[in-house]
Amino acid sequence: MTEMKDSILAVRGLTVDFSTPDGRVEAVKGIGLDVRTGETLAVVGESGSGKSQTMMGIMGLLAKNGTVTGSARYRGQELVGLPPKALNGVRGSKITMIFQEPMTSLDPLYPIGRQISEPIVHHRGGTFKQAKKRVLELLELVGIPEPARRIDSYPHELSGGQRQRVMIAMALANEPDILIADEPTTALDVTIQAQILDLLKSLQRRFGMAIVLITHDLGIVKHFADRVAVMRRGEVVEEGRTTEIFERPKADYTKMLLAAEPSGRKAPPARGAPIILEGRDVAVEYAIGKGLFGGSSSAFRAVDGVNLRLRQGQTIGIVGESGSGKSTLGRALLRLLPSSGYYRFGTTDISGFDRGAMRPLRRELQLVFQDPYGSLSPRLTVGEIITEGLYVHEPELSRAERDRRAIAALKEVGLDPASRNRYPHEFSGGQRQRIAIARAVILKPKVVILDEPTSALDRSVQGQVIELLRDLQEKHGLSYIFISHDLSVVKAMSDYVIVMKNGRIVEEGETDAIFEAPRESYTKTLMGAAFNV
Amino acid sequence: MISFVLRRLASAVPTLFIVVTISFFLMRFAPGGPFNLERPLPPSTMENLMRTYHLDQPLWRQYGIYLSNAVTGDFGPSYIYHDNNVAQLIGKGLPYSMELGFYALILAVVGGVIAGTIAALRQNSFLDFAIMSVSTIGVTVPNFVVGPVLTLIFAIMLSWLPAGGWGDGSFRFLILPMIALALPQLAVFARLTRGSMIEALNTDHIRTAKAYGLPSRTVVVTHAMRGALLPVVSYLAPCAAALLTGSAVVETIFTIPGVGRYFVLGAINRDYTLVMGTVVLIAIFVIVFNLLVDILYGLLDPRVRHD
């Protein structure tokens, strides 16, 4: 590749290697990229594509076992192999970064003002006191309310969106040429995501810096980027203008990614299908108490008077941002936490049921969690994990019979039955979620509550898991409550949607009605904030 | 903050009461007594002694007497060191133990944190390996071995330092016992620091600091070290209490007139009041240092607020 015109960051033949106990792993395999003045370049790929490691390599931020070779020239200056001291002159002033987790990316022990001042003081000289004026300007610029008060706040005193604004303030402090944003909104709610992206866009217009956006989310790319580089397994498979890539993708992988957006619909259950699970006036309260000696305690209503009826074969999607009470509602319906209200399972009133009384019903009411890493015990084999419920609910089963059921369940979720003697860490995220689903379906439940089951997965894997869930539903007449913040997934999965905010139902109705003609302004905001491909 | 301190001090009262009660009865249920000597005393003398010290009374009465006196600061007479009461014995010895313990604590914390930080920054290097090996030795070799070896080398063979005693109280006399006392704790601090420092260096906000071109000194000292010190600070309280209240072994080897010996000697001689006195002393130190450390923790970590 020849030097592109007005390229300010020219990457040529860049490789990133990691030496691991299993040998060398090539994360980035000699790629070329150009970042031009003032443009937004999106680097898109699924997990493990090397999109983040490319930038980490250029910025000298690889883990200790990583090495970078090749070339990355910033305005003619070679960055690869530059000694840390010289590199420090560039990073934080000419090229800055923001990261996915705004909570952990800021030092919890220092006020935000002090953290924003650090790159100013370091790169421009002066004292922290002198930098204060600039910090206040920056906080104002990124839309932090009451900057003079907030300057002394600690990261844990801010919301996720505000923390990301603080990171952006830090990134802008020295008026950079290039801002690298590594999944900047992945950890944020959709409405906050839209605000942060708008902010970045307007700041870019104002200051003219180039933005390198690393993301897995094609919706964001379409609305935000001028050019796109699609990465897969350490290589750039396609590069071009955003409109071209979306309208005329050339590489098969790009086509697959674009098609991986969840599609299809779920037909509503037959009319008059019996109600399988009902909750009336569901309320969950948490005491915000003080210690042994101190103060009055107050209560926080996480779920506040919700009514819900799930029919046999139905999927109710519960949509809402973090803190809306959607997960808490799911757990309350399963009687997994103290809550008030009336609950009915089939024809049984389960309102007053305690743990013991619920136990025989548990096999019919199953739960699948978001985090396929955290919800599988790392010390049990897959076979042990999925058959554990059988010990409780069908203790009389013989060993051979249990094994047969495990094989059947694994086949059902599309995993090799031979894998039942292996441990969870040997599986990918999507496979782990299949294991979690197998653990639920082996008990032949009637109701499965799916709490963000696809949120930790790559889009292409997400589509497969959704297919699987829909197949299982059809085959076994399952009823689902599908909790998610991801509207496109909810649209593909559910026939009825409930929109929640602050513990209450804002709006509910048939999926089509909600998506095509939302009535409430909050629902409209949510829909508007979700970028669709 | 003030209410936090007051609440903690108030909760110290029941803690002390429980410590006193348990150790009082444990001590009494141990076989033997302060006057059961190798050559038995004549019965009349024995009776006299028992009466003088209220040991002829029922146990609960003795307990009541002890408690009511202790509240006024009277910890009773020592049964063995007849010339002094317990408060005087502790009052005399404590300054020596505290001075020695203070230097040992400084050495342990400063040395341990520096060694641990260096090991963490050079993880898996020869230096890391060397520091951790030495610290393993520090933990495993008891100070009744370290003490005499130090004396042998620096006092007897090289004649650089005095072999023992307090002398005129100059620092020369303190060096060897200080090292012997500090070494095991220094090793613990080094290990703690290394572990938490390695963890701190791998956090996202350290990556941020590097990404913003901050010099590695700032990254390590300002950002990594402060977070890494939190677990170290937690260990500070029990360690300070242990060092400042003296060590029987070190004080015996280096013939230092501190209070550390009293705990062991008191226990062996069934000198009930002396043991009780040292137990109360250590308990008070632990409580006070725990409080100080919690306050310090709150200053270091804004997420922990004491209000």
pLDDT given at position A1: 45
CB contact under 8 A, A156 and B207: no
pLDDT given at position A292: 47
Confidence of residue A179 (pLDDT cuts 50, 70, 90): very high
Query: Among B123, B212, B226, whose Cβ lies nearest the Cβ of A92?
Result: B212
Range list of H helices, A142-189? 147-150, 160-172
CB contact under 8 A, A119 and B303: no
Return all residues near B179 (Cβ < 8 A) that are at least 6 apart: B107, B146, B150
- Residues B201, B190: Cα–Cα separation, whole Å: 16
Nearest to A329 by CA among A100, A531, A500: A500
Of A35-44, A208-217, B132-141, the one with minimum mean pLDDT is: B132-141
pLDDT given at position A2: 47
CB contact under 8 A, B212 and A89: no
Q: CB A288: neighbour CB atoms within 10 A?
A: 10
**B252 within a domain of the structure (yes/no):** yes
d(CA A97, nearest CA chain B) in Å:
7
Domains of chain A (ranges, CATH numbers): 313-337+353-529 (3.40.50.300)
Rg (chain A; Cα; Å): 26
Contact residues, chain A, for B227 at CB < 8 Å: 107-109
- Residues A63, A61: Cα–Cα separation, whole Å: 7
Nearest to B104 by CA among B171, B181, B169: B181
Q: Does A99 touch chain B (CB under 8 A)?
A: yes
d(CA B137, nearest CA chain A) in Å:
29
pLDDT per position as a tens digit, A510-525: 998 998 889 999 998 8
- Distant-in-sequence contacts of B170-174, Cβ < 8 A, 24+ apart: B174/B99, B174/B100, B174/B103
d(CA B50, nearest CA chain A) in Å:
45
Return all residues near B6 (Cβ < 8 A) that are at least 6 apart: none
Instruction: Tell me how many domains chain B contains.
Output: 1
Confidence of residue B115 (pLDDT cuts 50, 70, 90): very high
Range list of H helices, B72-154? 86-121, 126-140, 143-150
Confidence of residue B39 (pLDDT cuts 50, 70, 90): confident
Query: Which residue type, as a one-letter code, is found at position B245?
Result: T
Q: What angle do CA B202, B208, B210 make, to 5 degrees?
A: 80
Query: Which residue type, as a one-letter code, is found at position B192?
Result: L
Average the pLDDT over A487-513 and give the result.
Answer: 92
Q: What percent of chain A has pLDDT over 70?
A: 96
CB contact under 8 A, B209 and A64: no
CB contact under 8 A, A92 and B213: yes
- Residues B47, B40: Cα–Cα separation, whole Å: 12
**B67 within a domain of the structure (yes/no):** no
For residue A291, pLDDT over 70 is answered with no
CB contact under 8 A, A122 and B227: no
**B110 within a domain of the structure (yes/no):** yes
Torsion sign over Cα A186, A188, A193, A196: negative
CB contact under 8 A, B7 and A293: yes
- Residues B169, B174: Cα–Cα separation, whole Å: 8
Contact residues, chain B, for A82 at CB < 8 Å: none
ipTM score of complex: 0.80
Contact residues, chain A, for B301 at CB < 8 Å: 108-109
> How much of chain B is helix, strand and coil, in % rounded to 5?
75, 0, 25
pLDDT per position as a tens digit, B239-286: 999 899 888 888 888 888 888 888 888 888 888 888 888 888 889 999
Of A32-46, A113-127, A183-197, A331-345, the one with minimum mean pLDDT is: A183-197
Average the pLDDT over A246-251 and give the result.
Answer: 92
Q: Does A153 touch chain B (CB under 8 A)?
A: no
Nearest to A206 by CA among A137, A136, A150: A137
Chain A interface test: which of B208, B219, B221, B225 (most A C-beta within 10 Å): B208
User: CA A372 → CA A48, A377, A378, A452, distances in Å?
Assistant: 17, 10, 11, 10
Buried b (16+ CB within 10 A) or exposed e, B283-302: bbbbbbbbbebbebbbeebb
Q: Which residue of B has its CA nearest to A89?
A: B213
CATH of the domain at B265: 1.10.3720.10
**B47 within a domain of the structure (yes/no):** no
- Residues A297, A498: Cα–Cα separation, whole Å: 31
**B43 within a domain of the structure (yes/no):** no
The residue behind tokens 């209000």 is B307
**B62 within a domain of the structure (yes/no):** no
Confidence of residue B170 (pLDDT cuts 50, 70, 90): confident
CB contact under 8 A, A109 and B300: yes
Confidence of residue A297 (pLDDT cuts 50, 70, 90): low
Torsion sign over Cα A455, A457, A458, A460: negative
Nearest to A287 by CA among A296, A276, A277, A299: A299
Average the pLDDT over B106-116 and give the result.
Answer: 95
Contact residues, chain A, for B211 at CB < 8 Å: 59, 61, 91-92, 96-97
CB contact under 8 A, A61 and B211: yes
Residues 291-320 of A with CB under 8 A from B: 293-294
User: CA A240 → CA A3, A41, A208, A479, B76, distances in Å?
Assistant: 16, 10, 21, 44, 90
Q: What pTM was estimated for this model as a whole?
A: 0.82
Q: Does A121 touch chain B (CB under 8 A)?
A: no
For residue A5, pLDDT over 70 is answered with no
- Residues A249, A218: Cα–Cα separation, whole Å: 13
For residue A372, pLDDT over 80 is answered with no
For residue A4, pLDDT over 70 is answered with no
Domain that holds residue B223: 86-300
Most distant CA atoms of chain B, gap in Å = 84
Q: Which of A276-290, A358-372, A382-396 shows the highest mean pLDDT?
A: A382-396
User: CA A145 → CA A158, A165, A353, A387, distances in Å?
Assistant: 11, 11, 47, 53
Confidence of residue A12 (pLDDT cuts 50, 70, 90): very high
d(CA B220, nearest CA chain A) in Å:
12
**B138 within a domain of the structure (yes/no):** yes
**B12 within a domain of the structure (yes/no):** no
State in Å, rounded, how far the first CA of chain A is from the last one.
30
User: CA A68 → CA A29, A80, A338, B211, distances in Å?
Assistant: 10, 7, 53, 16
Contact residues, chain B, for A154 at CB < 8 Å: 302-303
Q: How far is CA B38 from the centre of its chain?
A: 33
Return all residues near A41 (Cβ < 8 A) that are at least 6 apart: A33, A35, A210, A211, A212, A213, A225, A226, A227, A228, A229
For residue B118, pLDDT over 50 is answered with yes
User: CA B70 → CA B17, B276, B302, distances in Å?
Assistant: 10, 10, 39
Contact residues, chain A, for B204 at CB < 8 Å: 99, 101, 104-105
Q: Are B249 and B147 in contact (CB under 8 A)?
A: yes
State in Å, rounded, how far the first CA of chain B is from the last one.
5
For residue A304, pLDDT over 70 is answered with yes
Quote the DSSP letter at residue A5: T
Confidence of residue A94 (pLDDT cuts 50, 70, 90): very high
- Residues A333, A350: Cα–Cα separation, whole Å: 10
3-state secondary structure A284-334: EEEEECCCCCCCCCEEEEEEEEEEEEEECCCEEEEECCCCCCHHHHHHHHC
For residue A296, pLDDT over 90 is answered with no
Q: Does A101 touch chain B (CB under 8 A)?
A: yes
CB contact under 8 A, B210 and A61: yes
Q: Does A87 touch chain B (CB under 8 A)?
A: yes
CB contact under 8 A, A154 and B302: yes
CB contact under 8 A, B213 and A154: no
CB contacts < 8 Å between A and B, how many? Answer: 82
CB contact under 8 A, A118 and B211: no
Residues of B within an 8 Å Cβ radius of A: 3, 7, 123, 203-205, 207-216, 218, 223, 226-227, 300-303
Torsion sign over Cα A103, A109, A112, A114: negative
Q: Are A26 and A64 in contact (CB under 8 A)?
A: no
